[in-house]
Copies of this chain bind each other. A is one copy, B any other.
Amino acid sequence: MQTIRVETPSARYDVFVGSGLLRSLAPRIERIAGRLPRRIFVLTSPEIWALWGKALSESFPEPPLALFLPAGEKHKNLVNVEKMARQMIAAGGDRSSLLIAFGGGIVGDVGGFLAAIFMRGIRYVQVPTTFLAQVDSSVGGKTGVNLPEGKNLIGSFHHPLAVFADIGVLGTLPDRELRSGLMESIKAGIIRDRTLVRFMEEHVDDVLRRDPKALEKVIAASVRMKADVVNRDERESGLRMILNFGHTLGHAIEQVTRYKALLHGEAVGWGMIAALHLAKKRGTISSRQGERLESLVYLYGPLPPLKLRPGKLVAASGSDKKNTGGVRRFVLPVGIGDAGVVEDVTPAELESAAAYMLARAAERHA
């Protein structure tokens, strides 16, 4: 097991990465919270609960009460948050209650947000069950739900008491989701950890056949990178921006395809291909570095095909809520293991990067 400390001005907690965490959850929570809260709720999906609910419950003196959120972005909304808050009240939930967010990124975001606003904030822990949630969304305190107008437009910063990333739970994760999640690890390596880049290049087979040691290594390194960035910039004012590497066009792809055709990591994978091209053009990475990193993305593919027009993607990227005041921020890798933010990327450059990406997508699915 590896333990990564998250330490921001407003919170301090640990992310545990390892095997067997699920079955020892109650004593672990007890150690951190002082004692087990009287009322414990688990926000989860019916699918995860069917597979892993028994394992999670068995260490608790009485089983936590499950609140179910159906799978899919369309259920990530305020109506469901209200519904679950009412279930908590009906079951005697109060300010001393604890919530366990047990599922993928959506469950984590909704669970964190529910904990943030239930009686003005209760404690919660994250038990992410997808690779993506383990390396990314469960760390950093961002919580939220969608509006019809866009994703995560409603939310809070609310840190968990702890994050328990159990490698074992990934055993039932569909292959496509694993590969998609690994894109965020590739991102982590590119922007901040060249050792991780090297490890992922050299252990493709181990990682993809879910060797626990290899997974623990990749997940812990990814979490360490994110925690390190979050620790220095909790509220996303500066450094935290670099976590958006690959996300400008990644989000644009998701928007244009209405979040239906690609998984988040897959869209980020393509977004990184585009961003690497722009970085090569600008000379922040060499051609050789660019090719090496592009190959790494493909090693953990396949990425789904894209049939889009570059102009449409560029237009969609402008509506990214992270662009405050109309400035178009863009993250570029600097060599391997570093990155910076530029604000002067032109629509033409963005369009050229999108065109490059779409050409690669066409080649690979010809």
**A140 CA to B283 CA, complexed, in Å:** 51
**A335 CA to B59 CA, complexed, in Å:** 51
Known: A94-B324, A147-B82. A153 touches B116 (CB 8 A): no
Indicate with 1 or 0, residue by residue over A91-124, a CB within 8 angstroms of chain B CB atoms.
Answer: 0001110000000000000000100111111000
Known: A153-B119, A155-B119, A321-B119. A81 touches B78 (CB 8 A): yes
**A116 CA to B113 CA, complexed, in Å:** 12
Any chain B CB within 8 A of the CB of A142? yes
Known: A78-B78, A81-B78. A120 touches B324 (CB 8 A): no
Q: Which residue of B lies closest to A120 (CB)?
A: B155
A85: chain B residues at CB < 8 Å are 147, 153-154
Indicate with 1 or 0, residue by residue over A46-87, a CB within 8 angstroms of chain B CB atoms.
Answer: 000000000000000000000000000000001101100110
Contacting B at CB under 8 A, from A135-174, are 142-144, 147-150, 152-157
Q: Which residue of B lies closest to A143 (CB)?
A: B120
A142: chain B residues at CB < 8 Å are 120
Q: Are B156 and A117 closer than 8 Å at their CB atoms? A: yes
Any chain B CB within 8 A of the CB of A89? yes
Number of interface residues of A (CB under 8 A): 36
- B86, B155, B321, B325: which contacts A148 (Cβ < 8 A)? B86
Q: Smallest distance from the beta carbon of A198 to chain B beta carbons, Å?
A: 35
**A79 CA to B89 CA, complexed, in Å:** 18
Any chain B CB within 8 A of the CB of A90? yes
- The number of times this chain is found in the oligomer is 2
**A148 CA to B157 CA, complexed, in Å:** 26
A119: chain B residues at CB < 8 Å are 153-155, 321
Known: A94-B321, A147-B89, A321-B94. A82 touches B121 (CB 8 A): no
Q: Smallest distance from the beta carbon of A161 to chain B beta carbons, Å?
A: 16
Contacting B at CB under 8 A, from A334-352, are none
A156: chain B residues at CB < 8 Å are 116-117, 120-121, 156
Q: Are B154 and A117 closer than 8 Å at their CB atoms? A: yes
Q: Are A321 and B95 closer than 8 Å at their CB atoms? A: yes
Q: Are A121 and B154 closer than 8 Å at their CB atoms? A: no
A118: chain B residues at CB < 8 Å are 153-154
Q: Are A86 and B147 closer than 8 Å at their CB atoms? A: yes
Any chain B CB within 8 A of the CB of A38? yes
Q: Which residue of B lies closest to A322 (CB)?
A: B95
A152: chain B residues at CB < 8 Å are 120
A96: chain B residues at CB < 8 Å are 324-325
Indicate with 1 or 0, residue by residue over A276-304, a CB within 8 angstroms of chain B CB atoms.
Answer: 00000000000000000000000000000
- B10, B79, B82: which contacts A154 (Cβ < 8 A)? B82
Q: Which residue of B lies closest to A94 (CB)?
A: B324
Q: Which residue of B lies closest to A157 (CB)?
A: B120
Q: Which residue of B lies closest to A97 (CB)?
A: B324
Binding site for B on A (CB under 8 A): 10, 38, 78-79, 81-82, 85-86, 89-90, 94-96, 113, 116-121, 142-144, 147-150, 152-157, 321, 324-325
What are 23 residue pairs bridging A and B, where the CB atoms are less than 8 Å apart in the complex?
A10-B10, A38-B325, A78-B81, A78-B82, A85-B153, A85-B154, A86-B148, A86-B149, A89-B147, A89-B153, A94-B324, A95-B324, A96-B324, A96-B325, A117-B144, A117-B155, A118-B154, A119-B155, A120-B142, A120-B143, A120-B144, A120-B152, A120-B155
3 interchain residue pairs of minimum CB distance? A120-B155, A89-B149, A78-B82
